[in-house]
Amino acid sequence: MRRSRDFLALTKPRVVLMVLITTSVGFYLGSESPPDWLRLLPTLLGTALAAGGTIALNQFLERDVDARMERTRRRPLPEGRLRPAEALAFGVAIAAAGLLLLLPVGPLPFLVTAATVGLYLFAYTPLKRRSSLCLIVGAVPGALPPVTGWVAARGEFGIGVGVLFGILFLWQLPHTLAIARLHMEDYARGGIRLPPASGGLSVERQTVAGCLALLVAGLLPTLIGLTGQVYLLGALTLGVGLLGCGVLQALSPSRGAARRVLFASLLYLPTLLILMTLDKA
């Protein structure tokens, strides 16, 4: 039973759940007629397995980093509860199974998910130890799940899915910067080169810039006719609230201010996705 829990922990179920939520929203918004729920099921199952396998492989690749960081040293691999070979085999097996399940859904969902897996493991993961640009690179695979949902429903790309991608991409900037600010000493111990640990443009200014860009991007779904006026008002309110938290952090940097930005970002995204779903044009 403990080993089963450890294998499940390798997949970070809460992260996978968020991936599935964004995939579902992309599928619903991309559906031009009543959604084909039977098509959604293999899309979600394949996405869940691919995401869980990718996260497990990431933990395999970063097991030495995790062992040096306080927030990650109790994971199954650093503590020795699972062997690296077991994590590798498990991650490869379920990621491959997820991709294979997406093949019958269509070539585009398969290719988008394969790109997500590849970018996360072979671009973002190694870059974390080399450059703070990992923040930008890592936001790309993090923003692709709604694209998978959209192309699974519609079979093509479009301006709507570009806007969804942009919102998810920009949301990750203040969200990740807040986490990095809260754990900058831990990231430094692990050799992770996120902005607070590696210098350069201040994290506060980056946070404000990200919040401002997200505020603008959050209004675009209504402007392109994807959502209605209720969504527009909600997106404006959420965006201004998150930007306000970012400005307060910039004016008076502190752990408490970073926590406010993190909390605001965690409130922003699910609320925005709910509004998109309820007020689809």
In the chain, domain spans: 1-157, 158-281
For residues 221 and 241, give the distance between their C-alpha atoms in angstroms, rounded to a whole number: 19
DSSP notation for 166-225: HHHHHHHHHHHHHHHHHTHHHHHHHT---HHHH-SS-HHHHHHHHHHHHHHHHHHHHHTT
The architecture (CATH level 2) of 1-157 comes to: Orthogonal Bundle (1.10)
| pLDDT score at 199 | 47
| pLDDT score at 198 | 46
Note the pTM of the prediction, 2 decimals: 0.93
For residues 99 and 148, give the distance between their C-alpha atoms in angstroms, rounded to a whole number: 12
- Per-residue pLDDT tens digits for 102-150: 999 999 999 999 999 999 999 999 998 888 888 899 999 999 999 999 9
Q: Calculate the CA 47 to chain-centre distance.
A: 13
The structure tokens listed for 91 are 């991650």
- Per-residue pLDDT tens digits for 143-173: 999 999 999 999 999 999 999 999 999 999 9
- Per-residue pLDDT tens digits for 83-102: 999 999 999 999 999 999 99
Q: Which amino acid is at 8?
A: L
- Average per-residue pLDDT for the chain: 93
